[in-house]
A and B are shown apart, each in its own frame.
Chain A
Amino acid sequence: MSSEKSGVHKLLAEGPKAINLGLEEFAEALATQGVKVVHVDWSPPPPEAQELSDLLDKLL
């Protein structure tokens, strides 16, 4: 349980270090607050990849 709990506790204790997906402005606002942030140049996954991932979700 201790390792399971550490995710939330680490976030609150250390503050956010973020990966941003979507609005780039959110990453910029974090950077201006001195937060370490990496913005993902995201694009929709190809339909086949999504189908495969959905299938895996069902199987696993």
Chain B
Amino acid sequence: MFRVCLVHKRRYFDSMFLMQVSQRLRGEPGIGEAAVLMGTPANVRILKDLGFSGPELDTAGPDDLVVAVAGESEALVRQALAKLEEWLVSGRAAVPGAPKTLVQALSQLPEANIAVISLPGWHAGREAKIALEHGLNVFLFSSNVPLEEEIALKRLAQEKGLLVMGPDCGTAIIAGVGLGFANAVRRGPVGLIAASGTGAQEFTSLIHRAGSGISHAIGTGSRDFSDAVGGLTALSALAALTEDPATEVIVFLTKPPGAETLARLISQVKRSKKPVVACFLGVIPEKVRREWPGKLVTTVDEAVAAALELLGLPKPPFLAYDPSELAELAADEGKKLSPRQRFVRGIFSGGTFCYQAQLLFHNARVPFRSNVPLLEEYALLNPLSSEGHTLLDMGDEFFTQGRLHPMIDPTLRRERILAEAKDPEVAVLLLDFVLGYNASPDPVGDLLPALRTAQEEARKRGEEILVVASVCGTEADLQGYAHQVDQLEDVGALVFPTQAQAVQFVLALVRGRR
């Protein structure tokens, strides 16, 4: 095996492009292992774990491109490297006259009002600051922006009457336009302020499927509601939506805020002329329930129902399910399982879906394990090995280092489905599928072969594995909601209209088998 590891100083490509290029390189004749990455400490570690080494690798910095290839012979590796160079040059070829900086871009689009930033975290803050100084709002997708930088950016934005959505903001919808991972939804009277990306996707999709629509869905980033940040973006967003003529009802969607932040929100909500619903995903202290001046709910479904009720709209049939029917269905489906099949394995691409599932398990007093535990007592020792009921966030850093998010790249979820199917104690595979802009063009299609193999594996043992799923999205999404559901039903999956219902079904099944 011939190995080579090259470092190109100060040559930048975005991670999505580099993942695609790496994958292509691995498909070249005689190539075993190949990775093309930016030289961050984490990526250098990955390469060392793959057996690459050398003095050059030790000099790599986060702004350097690192190419690591192992192949059957030097000739084949050199051949692959030549191809790689062609792809690098042609794949991301800049349009002639393309701006090299944000300021140059502004001269091409002087009417711009937002910067969408998904650069590596250590550069993102600097560019966000430049954007704010030039009067642009910011959608900051990047994670790993230091907390102090986030606070400084948000204070600057507040001074300038601008919004910073993020850092770590996956989703926003502004005046009908989706930013980042967002679904195609109708415009309407519901305004959303959300700290969680997939939570915002589920909420906005359900509002659309209920026949209503979204005025704006403003992302805050995951840390905004903490006392360290103090809800700077959330408060600006609340003020903006309160004055926005298109918004009639405002919904917060976040984990429970810090105590000081909550007090600030309460005081502003009390002054708001519009009804405000709080969906605090988490364990809510009684004091918070008492003090919140509006409707307070704890699941996305309840938030959708509360918003619709405030608008005077009827509950859509898909939210008006009967728990006893769910229990009956669970009893029927449970008959297909053998006595040793006891456990649920949730393999989620959406962070909020993993979180919401944990919350519902916790409320039902069904113990479980998770790699991103709701409470310490639920921590999973080894994310690669499930124990009992296990609820996995496959988008967590542990799984995504050096890879694309599972909403784009199905590889790890596929592998995990196959691994779980080998465990004879597994009764249910609980899955989410997220549609929308920038997600995989066929999220269900990506996993169908693995689901079929999993079912065959169980059948060989004379058993059946239940596949329980929910699809987050709308018919207007590129992937098509109905088409995705149909594909799942074709392999016998039980598809529920919301993720919360899929989890409730699974809990009914678990209760029935105790």
Interface-located stretch among B133-141, B340-348, B498-506: B133-141
Q: Is A22 touching B118 in the complex (CB atoms < 8 A)?
A: yes
Does A12 lie at the interface of the complex (its beta carbon under 8 Å from any beta carbon of B)? yes
Q: How far is B255's CA from A46's CA once the two chains are assembled, in angstroms?
A: 39
Q: Which of B456-480 contact A (CB under 8 A)?
A: none
Which listed residue, A8, A19, A20, touches B161 by the CB 8 Å rule? A8
B111 engages A36 (CB within 8 Å): yes
CB distance B177 to A40 under 8 Å?
A: no
Given A22-B118, A41-B94, A41-B99, decide whether A4 and B159 contact each other with a Cβ distance below 8 A: yes
In-complex Cβ contact of A23 among B14, B63, B163, B175 (8 A): B14
Q: How many residues of A contact B (CB 8 A)?
A: 44
The reply to whether B437 and A9 contact each other, CB–CB distance below 8 Å, is no
Across the interface, do B114 and A18 meet the contact criterion of CB distance under 8 Å?
yes
Please report the C-alpha to C-alpha distance between residue A8 and residue B12 in the assembled complex, in whole angstroms: 32
Assess whether B491 is interfacial by the CB under 8 Å rule: no
CA distance A53 to B103 in the complex (A): 15
Minimum CB–CB distance for B97 against chain A, Å: 10
CA of A53 to CA of B178 in the docked complex: distance in angstroms?
33
Residues on A with C-beta less than 8 A from B118 are 21-23, 26
Query: Known: A19-B102, A29-B178. Is A46-B112 also a contact (CB below 8 A)?
Result: no
Instruction: For chain B, give the interface size range.
Output: 35 or more
B92 within 8 Å of A (CB atoms): yes
Closest chain-A Cβ to B191's Cβ sits at a distance in Å of: 9
Alpha-carbon distance between A37 and B117 when the two chains are bound, in angstroms? 13
* Residue from B12, B163, B176, B438 in contact with A15 in the complex, judged by beta carbons closer than 8 Å: B176
Question: Which stretch, B69-77, B119-127, B443-451, touches the partner chain A?
Answer: B119-127
Cβ A22 vs Cβ B14 within 8 A: yes
- A33 contact set on B, CB distance < 8 A: 177-178, 437
Q: Are A12 and B112 in contact (CB under 8 A)?
A: no
Query: A50–B374 Cα gap in the complex (Å)?
Result: 40
Say whether, besides A12-B216, A14-B113, A19 and B136 are in contact (CB < 8 Å): yes
Tell me the B206-246 residues at the A interface (CB within 8 Å). Answer: 216, 236, 240, 243-244, 246
- A7 and B99 in contact (CB under 8 A), knowing A17-B114, A21-B115? no
Residues of A contacting B159 with CB < 8 Å?
Answer: 4
| B87-115 CB contacts (< 8 Å) to partner A | 92, 94-95, 98-102, 104-106, 108-109, 111-115
B142 within 8 A of A: yes
A40's partner among B92, B100, B136, B236 (CB-CB below 8 A) is B100
On whether the beta carbons of A40 and B98 are closer than 8 Å, the reply is: yes
Q: How many A-B residue contacts, CB cutoff 8 Å?
A: 164
In the complex, which residues of chain A have a beta carbon less than 8 angstroms from the beta carbon of B104? 40
Q: Is B438 in contact with A26, judged by CB distance below 8 angstroms?
A: yes
Is B2 in the interface zone, CB < 8 Å from A? no
- Asked whether B330 is an interface residue with its Cβ less than 8 Å from the other chain, the reply is no
Using CB atoms, name the residue of chain B closest to A13. Answer: B175
Q: List residues of chain B with CB within 8 A of the CB of A18.
A: 112-116, 139, 179
Q: Contact between A22 and B114 (Cβ–Cβ < 8 Å)?
A: no
Interface residues of B in 38-77 (CB under 8 A from A): 63
The reply on A1 being an interface residue by CB < 8 A is yes
Question: Distance in Å from the Cβ of A33 to the closest Cβ of chain B?
Answer: 5
Shortest C-beta distance, B178 to chain A (Å), equals: 7
- Whether the Cβ atoms of B101 and A40 lie closer than 8 Å is yes
B116 touches A30 (CB 8 A): yes
Q: Using CB atoms and an 8 Å cutoff, list the residues of chain A in contact with chain B.
A: 1, 3-27, 29-30, 32-33, 35-46, 50, 53
Can you list 28 A-B pairs with a CB-CB distance of less than 8 A?
Answer: A3-B161, A4-B160, A5-B161, A7-B162, A8-B137, A8-B163, A13-B175, A16-B177, A18-B112, A18-B139, A19-B112, A19-B116, A22-B14, A22-B124, A22-B141, A22-B142, A26-B116, A30-B179, A35-B177, A37-B116, A39-B98, A39-B105, A41-B95, A42-B119, A42-B127, A43-B11, A44-B10, A46-B10
Q: A16-B113, A25-B16, A32-B437 given. 14 additional CB < 8 A pairs?
A: A14-B113, A14-B175, A15-B176, A16-B177, A19-B105, A19-B114, A22-B116, A22-B142, A29-B437, A29-B438, A30-B116, A36-B109, A40-B105, A44-B63
Which residues of B are interface residues toward A (Cβ below 8 A)?
10-12, 14-17, 63, 92, 94-95, 98-102, 104-106, 108-109, 111-119, 123-124, 126-127, 131, 135-137, 139, 141-142, 159-163, 174-180, 216, 236, 240, 243-244, 246, 437-438
The 4 closest A-B pairs by CB, nearest first: A22-B118, A15-B175, A4-B161, A41-B94
